[in-house]
Amino acid sequence: MGSGKTTVGKLLAQSLSLEFIDLDAYIENKHRKTIATLFAEKGEDTFRKIERQALEEVSNFEGVLISTGGGVPCFFDNMDLMNRVGTTIYIEASPEELAERLMISKTVRPLIVGKTREELIPFIREHLAQRERFYLRAHIVYSTKHMLTKKEIHITVSGIEEQLRNRKET
């Protein structure tokens, strides 16, 4: 949460002339329910299976850039699948920076509603500790410091584009 997957993903897809697919939106459209509702009604195990099936479906699409929820790489062999069919990117940021972004975000996130910045930092740190071993398996790990302004977001997109070009050259 707050890493910039959707914001950066949309801009990067546009720059690379790719279609942008948000996996959560894909699931919501297919099932005609929100992620929160699916999670509540089906439970985490069934939701993760739904998520995996959707990932398999979109992995077969060509000319797309896919943004996944933060849990996707951590279940089944999803990270292996993503690494096999495409170039994976982890947008890395410190817990403090992520908390800052989340505090100013207009997106309602049920897991963090009502939390202060000081409460968010240990929450984020705990989630990263559980998930980062999967995230660090990405082909590209792009570290961000500040990404609050449009200029900073465009710098991030340009930096990722450069790493993609460098990856193609090797």
Q: Which residues of 130-157 are buried (b: 16+ CB within 10 A; e: fewer)?
A: eeeebbeebeeebebeebeeeeebeebb
What is the per-residue pLDDT across 36-51, written as a single tens digit (0 to 9) for each?
899 889 999 999 999 9
Which strand (E) or helix (H) includes residue 43? helix 35-59
107 has pLDDT over 80 = no
142 sits in the region (left: phi over 0; alpha: psi -120 to 50; else beta) called beta
pLDDT at 72 (0 to 100)? 97
> When comparing pLDDT for 168 and 68, which is higher?
68
Q: Which residues of 86-99 are buried (b: 16+ CB within 10 A; e: fewer)?
A: eebbbbbbebebbb
pLDDT at 56 (0 to 100)? 98
pTM for the full model? 0.93
What is the per-residue pLDDT across 59-90, written as a single tens digit (0 to 9) for each?
999 999 999 999 999 999 999 999 999 999 99
pLDDT at 112 (0 to 100)? 82
Q: Helix, strand, coil shares of the chain as percentages rounded to 5?
A: 65, 10, 25
pLDDT at 18 (0 to 100)? 98
53 has pLDDT over 90 = yes
What is the per-residue pLDDT across 114-126, written as a single tens digit (0 to 9) for each?
888 899 999 999 9
Neighbour tally for 20: CB within 10 Å: 17
What is the per-residue pLDDT across 110-167, written as a single tens digit (0 to 9) for each?
678 788 889 999 999 999 999 999 999 999 999 998 898 999 999 999 999 999 999 9
Taking the mean position of all CA atoms in its chain, how far away is CA 72? 8
pLDDT at 46 (0 to 100)? 96
CA 140 – CA 156 distance, rounded (Å): 13
Structural domains of the chain, with CATH: 5-158 (3.40.50.300)
CA 140 – CA 12 distance, rounded (Å): 14
**Do residues 41 and 68 make contact, with C-beta atoms less than 8 angstroms apart?**
no
Neighbour tally for 25: CB within 10 Å: 13
pLDDT band of 1, cuts 50, 70, 90 = confident
CA 91 – CA 142 distance, rounded (Å): 5
